[in-house]
Copies of this chain bind each other. A is one copy, B any other.
Amino acid sequence: MGVKLGILGLGTVGTGTVQLLQDAVGRHPLLQEIEIYRVGVRSPNKSRDVQLQPEVITTDLESIVNDPAVDIVVEVMGGLEPARSLILQAINNGKHVVTANKAAIARFGAEIFTAANQAGVYVMLEAAVGGGIPVIQPLKQALSVNRLHTVTGIVNGTTNYILTRMQTEGSDFGDVLADAQRLGYAEADPTADVDGLDAGDKIAILASLAFDGRINLEDVYCEGIRQVSKTDIAYAEKLGFVIKLLAIAKNQAQDATKLSVRVHPTFVPKTHPLASINGVYNAILVEGEPIGQVMFFGPGAGAGATASAVTSDILSLVAALKSNTTAPNPLLTCRHEEYSQVAPISDLLTRFYARFLTKDQAGVIGQLGTCFGNHGVSIESIVQTGFQGELVEIVVVTHDVREGEFRQALAEIQNLPAIDSIPSILRVL
């Protein structure tokens, strides 16, 4: 046998990967030259959906990353530690690494890739973003001949599933979330998904590849979907939009020194390629010069899809090992060590949708218009849309505005005696 794998973790993704590799006929012939040499697990006696010889299984994960016989370490255990330490140790021992761990890469990517470049090994992460969709390799390779200016993704399947159901059923967030948890589409603790943190990890990774600079995760603005109501989804529909949790990385202008990197629920025009991505599917739209728009669509999670991505990285490494390179392949290494500057969200130029509940008085629309005008916020439409009990509902859509100025206007509006509350503020793509 040829190339020896040490696999860390035998959960959903690890099991899927082992199943794929053990059933190699009809796939790329190089897969048959791979040996599943060691698999590290926490509980060796747990019943599993794969057959492995007892000597392959170990609970001593360090022994795998330190074993001189192991060529490639496949980290599919997830979590921050010991994943980070094991990856670093594997690198320092001269092993190539495949990881599906977006959380670890988004937080420790700088440390990990610096170590990998020093050791002359590759760290592959196709499975970290977009499940089975090949998007990391196209960004690092084919699309890198372009000057990219925007990456826009639906990169969290759980929230897209929830928003799709809210839209088709007219249901409330809480009800759909509870049902999604029951069906296994959402975790018992849904925080990382519904608060946009998982999408934040992923857009940090995509931004670093698209714009050739490391991203400090704390610079990524993350706003989740807990505040999205069925009322807003219905208004979006009326106005020709759908609401999607978008992860966006943008080079705001050719001469901009700072990127915009953010996650938030967004009004997306129905004609936009991302508007029709529904359910647990993911899609990543990449825009640049001269290519224009390209989009990658597919399953954002699941054992099989993620195993496909993990195995594609293993395949790339096996091919690199087979071709006996004497110098690193510059398309497989990390080629940036600087950090990109990320602008604060208050600098964002965007359109807004805002929904107000006000007392039923004459002149409220005029007061809103004046407040916005005082802060340079140009209004596209301001419409009294109906009543909620005693209160009047007013929906405002702005032209492009600096977010900071819009927020100042809102702060002033909040203090107007006629204003009861501002239940929704959403950005418009």
Instruction: Enumerate chain A interface residues (CB-CB to B < 8 A).
Output: 16, 19-20, 26-31, 126, 132-134, 137-138, 141-147, 273, 276, 289-299, 302-305, 307-309, 311-312, 315-316, 319-320, 322-331, 335
Contact = CB atoms under 8 A, between A and B. Distances in A.
A223 B292 CA distance: 30
A330 B133 contact: no
Contacts of A328: 323
B290 A144 contact: no
B311 A145 contact: yes
27 contacts: A20-B145, A26-B147, A31-B145, A132-B291, A134-B134, A134-B143, A137-B141, A141-B312, A144-B312, A145-B308, A146-B308, A273-B297, A290-B308, A291-B305, A291-B308, A292-B305, A293-B299, A294-B297, A294-B299, A295-B295, A295-B296, A295-B297, A295-B298, A297-B297, A319-B331, A323-B326, A323-B329
Given A132-B292, A295-B297, A329-B322, A312 B142 contact: yes
A319 B331 CA distance: 6
Nearest to A133: B294
Those 10 A-B pairs whose CB atoms lie nearest each other, nearest first:
A290-B304, A294-B298, A142-B312, A134-B142, A323-B329, A28-B144, A295-B297, A323-B325, A291-B308, A145-B311
Copies per complex of this chain? 2
A31 B331 CA distance: 12
B304 A298 contact: no
A368 to B, nearest CB: 37
A323 B312 contact: no
A298 B308 contact: no
Contacts of A28: 144-145
A132 B305 CA distance: 25
